[in-house]
Amino acid sequence: MSAIPSQGNTGRLPGFEETDNTADVPGKRATLVLHMDRFNQVTRQVCQVAESKRPPFAWYAAFAVSLALVGLLGICVNYLIFTGVGVWGLNNPVMWAFDITNFVFWVGIGHAGTLISAILFLFRQKWRTGINRFAEAMTIFAVICAGLFPGIHVGR
Amino acid sequence: MPSLNGSDKTISLPVSQPQAGGCGCSDSSESKRTVDARKGASWWRSLGEREQDAQAMAFAHREFPVAADTLDGEDRRTFIKIMGAGFALAGLGLTGCRRWPESEIVPNASQPANRVPGVPVMYATATELRGVGYGLMATSYDGRPIKLDGNAEHPYWGGASTPWMQARVLELYDPERSRQVFKAGKASNIAEFNAWLGERAKALAAKQGEGLAILTQATSSPSMKDMLARVKQAYPKAKVAAWEALAATGSLDGTQIAFGAPMRLVPQVEKASVIVALDWDMLGTDPTALRHTRMWAEGRRLNGADPSKQTQNRLYAFEPHVTVTGMAADTRVAVRRGDIAVLAAMIAQALGVSGDASLTAAIGRLASSPAAKGMLDEHSKEVVDQLVKDLQGAKGASFVMCGTGQSAEVHALVAAINQSIGAMGTTVGVQAADAGAMRLPELVTAMNAGQLDTLLIVGANPCYDAPADLAFSKALAKVPNVARLAYYRDETSVDPACTFHVPQAHFLECWGDVTAPDGTKSIQQPLIQPLIDPAQGGVSGIEMLAMLLGGSEPKDGYTIVRRTSMASSGLSGAAFETMWRGCLDKGVMSAATPSAAPGSIRAGDVAKAVSALADAQPSSRDAGLELCFIPDNRVLDGRFANIGWMQELPDPVTKITWDNALLLSPTTANRLGVKQGAMVKVTAGDRSMQAAVFAVPGMADDTAAIALGNGRKEVAGTIATDAGFDAYPMRTTAAMGMVRGASVQVTGDTYTFAHTQDHGSIDAALIPSVPHNSVQERLPTLVRETTLESYKHHPDFAEHAVHVPHRLSLWQEGNLDGAQFRWAMSVDLTTCTGCQSCVTACQAENNIPIVGKDQVKRGREMFWIRVDRYFRGADPAKPDGFAVQPLTCVQCENAPCEQVCPVAATVHDSDGLNNMVYNRCIGTRYCSNNCPYKVRRFNFFDYQRRDPIREQQGPMQVKPEYYVETGPDEWLRMQFNPEVTVRMRGVMEKCSFCVQRIAQAKIKYKNEWAKAGGTASGKPNYSIPDGAVVTACQQACPAQAIVFGDLNDANSKVSKLHAARVSYGLLEELNTKPRLKYMARVRNPGVDHGAGDHGHDHGSGDGHGGHANNGTQNGAQA
């Protein structure tokens, strides 16, 4: 944000109407944030999510769904732990099936996040921070998911 | 001296390592990384800081000006570190998650004499099966018999055992064995039965026993015979009958026709160089198969001295279905059961069997009966010609035998053949058979006529296995008083007509005696007090007869057996006591009865019999299917149906577990349009049954075979319930062996078999990515075989089967040079018949669970030793031959499983054994993935505590609470071998080379060495003599094909066998250095158009050094 010079209190960025922000002319950078007059607007927009008294209804709905899925995972993992890895339908010689598939799937997802992050870094994209943040978050959560499987795949 | 690990002279790196990568091991690598990071964290962190110093850190900051602010490097590392540790803890936490069931121990208040807790005691005992007595050696731990083996001192049987002998210890502990007296379906007790029997006895005695009948199983017991004679004496008009579903009545009647007196024939395989088995399963289901296998193996084992002088007996097998005998035979021809008579006539004609003109004519008529046309193809005709030549060339050293599936007339004809080739009395011993008890049809006639008032059934189960046309159950309803003594309260006991059911004492719970086929008597010594409440019976057959006799007769089996022994030995007082003690100790009471003289053949009677056969031949070959009834290789006639070991034992031929099937040849199945697993309705006459079809390559065409003894209902026990299809309803007195003119209709249903024939395929047959021809390429290297002729010229054939590249490993191989022992095993494929005694023996010794049909279907069977069965030849319908190969863990010196185990749960000990450490195993299953032999077995569930399930029942097929329950009935747990860990869920297991037996021997010999002052030297240099360690499979093997011992001892049997030129290791080209080696198979076919030279032809192009064996064998000899 600091790259955008302040233009006083007009509330408008200079040349707003006529600005062609698709061009990337050195020396005259296109405006990146539109319709945001003040920093506090930006701040409010960003912090609203975290600091409001209660999250919006949609959040509760999404959270309920997620919680149900995690609960299902818990039930399944408990069933698995109390009965044995045989419930996955493994056999001899296919000793790994469900577990290795899921592990590889989630590790793959994790790799994708790292890749996005790495490519942006290699190409020295200064705007990468925001993308990297969620890409790396994705990696970490995917690795947590992947890590679950080696943990529960052991037989005992 | 070249070192064993072979790392000294090698050029390239031929190591094919697993491609599985880091997926399954990730839990471990993660935790390892964590440990490294934590343990070495200070190290490496400080080192890095020292190396990179402030300048490097500044460089990093310059490099990531923005990102360094947003995502702190230290935090990320810590996060991953904690996450990794969390994973590791999760893994550890799960492994420790176990609750142990509570139990109490009660110590002895005073120590019993001669008992050392935890030290097994061996007792000689004996058992009886189908009227044949076997000598047994029982292992008892703290009063519990846990294992049965053959008594090595028995002169007839030797030390080996059959699967059935092994399984009988589980029968003892079967929780569903009857333990309650029932009177008309209501619980009762033995006192009530005794009162009832006394009443009956009084009433019967008044009528001289009129109306009394006793139905027993076939018996060889002198005491039983004595008691029956006493009953006859006390009740002169009583009837004594015997029933056995698989009785050898054909042979008795055949000798009656041929010689005028019933005889028991005792083939002396050891004296024969040519054996012709006509529908005779001599190495499989024959009651004396144990002896036959041993002697047959003796006659063909490679002696190694001079290959050009090697001799082998020759076994011809003609049979409708594939048997163990057929698979082992040198030459096998598939012949329909009904054509065996014609074939016998052809052989008789060619041999010139004659006695009088009528016999010659009758044989001629039978041999040229219309059905004979097209019976044999060109190859088979050649075989018959060769066979006749062989028989003529080996007079007095050959014999022909036919099986129980054949009629008395065929047996008579075969007896005439044997007489003409001089076999009778020489290669076929003759024992006089007693006139025998009344047979079942006669008894049923008397029952139907209302002549019977009281029927005592001892052991037999005719409501289940009697011929269907006798309608035994209906006949039973006409007898007012019926009592049955049996192990199980099954079909006959629950029959409404059965007044009393009394639990029978198991043979390990009561006194008795038996006679082996050669006349050797043994004492059946109890190992344990009856597990049945004394108020609920638990009496033996002889004790029940004593109850019937009443009066001053001794009531307990011990006194009765001693009385019989005293009478037969003619001794008394101290001399008898000495004899008695001696035979309890050794298990053998008297020597064999010498063979009787057969007398001369009654040609006229045989001619009449052969004429009858010729008349009975169908006029053409299109008479529909022949439905053959065959003994089951697992449950026999059904009596072992509730024994889990037997149900789960794969059939040696079809490899089906938990079921039988309607067996058809692939050609016939195609012609009828039925697929594998299709349910069909089989109709013969007015009887029909339903069964599922299984196609077996090598069956005779237009033949359907079904094993008896399956398809029992709930009354037979939970294990037996619905296992397979009941063929007894199709069997009639007129057609005990087979029914002609059967037809098959497809019902449209399908049935799933749990068969193991494709499990553990190391030939990659079932991996779609491996093309089929690679199977063809690899198979000959797995089973290497050749003919005797070829072997004489190329004794090195097994060495050239596969090219073994230079032995160099990527890893630092374990160095076993200084080992005190190097245990190894050798399996002789020449003599192995695939009978699977080893499988059951291993199961009994090593506490191997049964898993149930559903689990077998998923490939989760737990056998530590499996017997792979291969077909040879291009035509899937008519294989040229069969091969069997028992496979245990081969105990690789360079074990692929060890390299990948993340927790070092499978490791080598100093003797070179590849051990499993169950406590360490967390069940990653990595080792099994990396095992090229597929011999590792994983406990997917806690199989020991779980009822075997036949069919999957929804997602909750596994009861979650089973894990903390105290298990099923504690009886079954009493069979456990305390020397072997009972594995819990989630651990890998595999063959251990019976490490507990090795340890026992080590302790014994080390103690002796220490007592003799050996410790002075400071180094444990005691030695264990060759043969002191015997593995369970080796002990059980009837062919003595398995040899175990120490390779460090150059004179040990196994060292010599490993050094033999025919010795090869399985998949040796992978540089696994297996400690189990096979002796390549050498067969002796008379006529062989098959590829006998398989092994030699293949790979002979690799004409340069580095062949199989060269490296290791030299090393082993050095």
Q: What does the pLDDT look like over B122-170, one tens digit per residue?
A: 899 999 998 899 999 999 988 889 999 999 889 888 889 999 999 999 9
Per-residue confidence (pLDDT) for residue B326, from 0 to 100: 92
Q: State whether residue A144 sits within 8 Å of chain B by CB.
A: yes
Contact across the interface for B83 and A87, Cβ inside 8 Å: no
Residues with Cβ < 8 Å from B1063, sequence gap 6 or more? B798, B826, B1057, B1077, B1078, B1079, B1080, B1109, B1113
Beta strands B1076-1079 and B1063-1065, pairing class: antiparallel
Proportion of chain B above pLDDT 70, given as a percent: 83
Beta carbons of A93 and B859 less than 8 Å apart: yes
Give residue B530's pLDDT band: very low, low, confident or very high (50, 70, 90). confident
Q: Distance (Å, rounded) from C-alpha B343 to C-alpha B366?
A: 9
Q: Given 3-state DSSP classes, what are the helix, strand and coil percentages for chain A, each rounded to the nearest 5? A: 60, 0, 40
- Name the residue of chain A whose CA is nearest to B84's CA: A147
Return the residue matching tokens 């004609």.
B349
Instruction: Please list, in sequence order, all residues whose beta carbon lies within 8 angstroms of the beta carbon of residue B639, skipping any fewer than 6 positions away.
Output: B461, B709
What is the model's pLDDT at position B524? 92
Nearest CA in chain A to B924: A154
Check B79 against A147: CB less than 8 A apart: no
> What would the two tokens of residue B331 be?
């030459």
Report pLDDT for A10: 47
Q: What is the band of A19 on the pLDDT scale with cuts at 50, 70, 90?
A: low
CA B741 from chain centre, in angstroms, equals 33
Mean pLDDT computed over B345-357: 84
Burial class (CB in 10 A: 0-12, 13-18, 19+), B663: buried
Q: Do B24 and A99 touch (CB under 8 A)?
A: yes
Contact A79/B at CB under 8 A: yes
DSSP character at residue B1109: T
Write out the two tokens for A62: 């999404």
In this predicted structure, which of A76-90, B232-246, B693-707 has the lowest mean pLDDT?
A76-90
pLDDT confidence bin for B355, thresholds 50/70/90? confident
pLDDT at A3: 44
Q: Per mean pLDDT, which range of B83-97, B431-445, B462-476 is the poorest?
A: B83-97
A11 lies within 8 A of chain B by CB: no
- AA letter at A94: V
Residue linked to tokens 């291009």: B874
Segment A129-143 mean pLDDT? 89
Q: Which residue on chain A is closest to B861 by alpha carbon?
A: A92
Let me know: does B424 contact B415? Beta carbons within 8 Å.
Answer: yes
A134 touches chain B (CB under 8 A): no
Give B68 to chain A, closest Cα distance, Å.
11
Say which amino acid occupies A120.
L
Report the residue from A95, A104, A132 with minimal CB separation from B928.
A95
Segment B1073-1082 shows an average pLDDT of: 90
Q: Is the pLDDT of residue B38 over 80?
A: no
Average pLDDT over residues A15-35: 60
Q: Which residue among A121, A144, A154 sits closest to B923, beta carbon to beta carbon? A: A154
| Residue of B30, B859, B938 with shortest CB distance to A155 | B938
- Which pLDDT does position B508 carry in this prediction? 92
What value does the mean pLDDT take over residues B913-936?
A: 89
| Among B54-63, B227-236, B256-265, B393-402, the least confident range | B54-63
Residues above pLDDT 90, as percent of chain B: 29
- Name every chain B residue with its beta carbon within 8 A of the beta carbon of A87: 955, 958
- Exposure string of B481-502, with b = 16+ CB inside 10 Å and e = fewer, is bbbbbbbbbbbbbbbebbbbbb
Q: Are B325 and B284 in contact (CB under 8 A)?
A: yes
Task: Determine phi and psi for B101, rounding to 5 degrees.
Answer: -65, 145
Counting beta carbons within 10 angstroms of the beta carbon of residue B812, is it exposed (0 to 12), middle (13 to 18) or buried (19 or more)? exposed
State the average pLDDT over residues B843-869: 88
CB–CB contact B960 A79 (8 Å):
yes
Distance CA B607, CA B610 (A): 5
Q: How many helices (H) and strands (E) does chain A have?
A: 4, 0
Q: Which of the pair, B725 or B818, is modelled with greater confidence?
A: B725
**End-to-end CA, chain A:** 54
User: A12-21, B526-535, B858-867: which range is least confident on average?
Assistant: A12-21
**Low-confidence winner among B29-43, B304-318, B581-595 (lowest mean pLDDT):** B29-43
Q: How near does any CA of chain A get to the CA of B959, in Å?
A: 7
Q: Which residues of chain B does A90 touch, with a Cβ-Cβ cutoff of 8 Å?
A: 925, 940
CB B692 within 8 A of CB B792: no
Nearest chain A Cα to B938, which residue?
A: A92
Mean local confidence (pLDDT), B600-608? 85
Residue of A98, A149, A5, A96 lying closest to B26 (CA atoms)? A149
- State the pLDDT at residue B86: 66
Q: For residue A81, what is the nearest residue in chain B, using CA coordinates?
A: B94
DSSP class of B956: G
Mean pLDDT for B495-508 is 91
Q: Is the pLDDT assigned to residue B809 strictly greater than 80?
A: no
Pick the residue with more confidence: B683 or B876? B683
φ, ψ dihedrals at B710, nearest 5°: -110, -175
pLDDT digits (tens, 9 = 90+) for B1080-1091: 999 998 776 544
* pLDDT at residue B952 greater than cutoff 70: no
B955/A87 CB distance under 8 A: yes
Give the pLDDT score at B1113: 34
Please say whether the beta carbons of B486 and B505 come within 8 A. Answer: no
Average pLDDT for A15-21: 52
Residue B941 distance to chain A (closest CA, Å): 5
Would an 8 Å CB–CB cutoff place A5 in contact with chain B?
no
Choice between B591 and B1063, residue whose per-residue pLDDT is larger = B1063
Distance CA B661, CA B678 (A): 10
Q: Do B23 and A153 touch (CB under 8 A)?
A: no
CB B255 within 8 A of CB B121: no
User: Can you give the pLDDT at residue B1107?
Assistant: 39
Q: What is the mean pLDDT of residues B161-185?
A: 90
Q: Tell me the pairing of strands B687-695 and B521-524.
A: unpaired
Q: What is the pLDDT at residue B940? A: 87
Residue A24: C-alpha distances to residues A1, A3, A19, A29 (Å): 17, 14, 11, 6
C-alpha A98: how far from chain center:
25
Question: Which run of H or E residues covers position B214?
Answer: strand B212-216
Between B279 and B944, residue with greater pLDDT: B279
Lowest model confidence (mean pLDDT) among B35-44, B305-314, B701-710, B717-726: B35-44
B901/B974 Cα distance (integer angstroms): 33
What is the rounded average pLDDT for all residues in chain B?
Answer: 81
Residue A150 and residue B87: Cβ atoms within 8 Å? Answer: yes
A3 at B interface, C-beta within 8 A: no
Q: Cα–Cα distance between B321 and B664 in angstroms, integer? A: 8
pLDDT tops 70 at residue B599: yes
pLDDT of residue B73: 47
pLDDT tops 70 at residue B987: yes
Going by pLDDT thresholds of 50, 70 and 90, the confidence category of residue B435 is low
Across the interface, which of A79, A92, A103 has its CB nearest the CB of B760? A92
Tell which residue, B508, B505, B549, has the closest CA to residue B528. B508
Higher-confidence residue of B1016 and B447: namely B447
* b/e per residue B369-403 (b: at least 16 CB within 10 A): bebbeebbeeebeebbebbbebbeebeebbbbbbb
Instruction: Grade residue B846 by pLDDT with cuts at 50, 70 and 90.
Output: very high
Rounded Cα distance between B65 and B69, Å, is: 7
Chain B CB contacts of A152 under 8 Å are 90, 94
Place of tokens 């099986």: B403
Q: Going by C-beta distance under 8 Å and a sequence separation of 6 or more, which residues neighbour residue A140? A: A110, A113, B79, B83
> Which residues, including other chains, have CB under 8 Å from residue B153's CB and lie 6 or more apart?
B124, B135, B586, B587, B588
- Cβ contacts of residue B689 below 8 Å, gap of 6+? B681, B682, B725, B726, B727, B729, B730
Q: Which of B163, B169, B146 minimizes the C-alpha distance to B996?
A: B146
Mean pLDDT, rounded, for B640-654: 91
pLDDT tier at A25 (50, 70, 90 boundaries)?
low
Supply the pLDDT for residue B1103. Answer: 34
